[in-house]
Structure formats: C-alpha cells, structure tokens
Amino acid sequence: MASIETALKDAMTAIDGALGVALVDYNSGMALGTLGGGPELDLSVAAAGNTDVVRAKMRTIEMLKLTENIEDMLITLSTQYHLIRPLTSRSGKGMFLYLALDKGRANLAMARHQIRTIESDLEV
C-alpha cells in the first residue's frame, strides 16, 4: 500500500507527460496532496473546479438511477488531457485523483492504466 505522497510521486514519474497530480476530497473541494503544476496549472484551483464536475456527474448518475460506477472522466483540451479518477476503496470514498497530462507527450491508454494501478495501491 502506498501513501498519498508516494502515490503522487509515482504518478509524476511513471506516467509520461504528467504535468501535475492531486488527490482531492470532493465533499470539501480541498486538495489533500498535490505534486507538479505551476503558474499555468494551479492544482488547488483545478481541484476545486473539478470537484464541481465530479459532484455533477455523481448527481446525474443518481437521478438516472444507474448502478454503474465511474471509472474515470476525461477532459480533452487543445494541448492537455485532464483525467479524473474517483477512488473506489472504502477508505477513499469521496475522493478522486486528478491528473493533468501534456497531450503531445502522453499515451492516454497507458496513463489510464497507470492511474488505475496507483489508485489500487493507494492507502488513504
């Protein structure tokens, strides 16, 4: 089992094109940990903004009475991918991993696979 700090480091080093990663509590919108980012990618702002995205999708699934779980959500920008992965473990309920990727350097399929692995090893 990996700590939050270890999981964030793994995401930044193992995932090609990673620009920044955060573990976010979507009940409060607070980032519990961040790594990477910079002046053009404020991970605290991204955490709060993507909390609204996750909450909206969770409400929609509930209203539709779907029994499906969200594996991940993808937002595609001109030069970046933003990947949101809600945690599925009992201790991770109400949290998601947020990963920003450089579109020109990232392999989206591999990034999705690696973030899934990181999420499964994460101990919150």
Which pLDDT value is given to residue 123? Answer: 83
User: Could you tell me the residue range of the domain that residue 109 belongs to?
Assistant: 4-121
Q: How confident is the model at residue 79 (pLDDT cuts 50, 70, 90)?
A: very high
Q: Using CA atoms, how far apart are residues 83 and 112, in angstroms rounded to an integer? A: 8
Residue 111 pLDDT grade (very low, low, confident, very high; cuts 50, 70, 90): very high
95 phi/psi in degrees, rounded to 5 = -130, 160
Specify the residue for token string 């991940």. Answer: 72
List the CATH number of the domain containing 10: 3.30.450.30
d(CA 110, CA 115): 9
Residues 53, 82, 46, 3, CA torsion sign: positive
Task: Tally Cβ neighbours within 10 Å of residue 48.
Answer: 16
Q: What is the pLDDT of residue 37?
A: 93
What's the mean pLDDT in 67-82?
95
Structural tokens at position 73: 């959500």
Q: Based on the structure, what is the number of domains in the chain?
A: 1
User: pTM for this structure?
Assistant: 0.93
Q: What is the pLDDT of residues 5-61, one digit of tens each?
A: 999 999 999 999 999 999 999 999 999 999 999 888 999 999 999 999 999 999 999
